[in-house]
Amino acid sequence: MNKTVTEIEEIVAMSRGDVKAFNALYARYHKPVHANILKLIDNRELATEVLQDVFYRFGRIDLRYR
């Protein structure tokens, strides 16, 4: 039986340093996130910079309890 990885599982995996999980989430969401940023900013170059910052910060989350 092939288990489908849920988004939550991908986020947890990404928070533990799984680059493959981050890449999967980026591939799934970068276009709609960029489109929404572009609606707010109306400047493609700046929207692309904001998108990079969003995913940079998203990729650095740490869900482990301290």
Distance CA 66, CA 55 (A): 23
pTM, 2 dp: 0.79
Instruction: Provide the pLDDT confidence category of residue 1 given band limits of 50, 70 and 90.
Output: very low
Distance CA 13, CA 62 (A): 10
The pLDDT of residue 64: 63
Instruction: Provide the pLDDT confidence category of residue 63 given band limits of 50, 70 and 90.
Output: confident
Residues 11-47 have pLDDT tens digits of: 889 988 899 999 999 999 999 999 999 999 999 999 9
The pLDDT of residue 35: 97
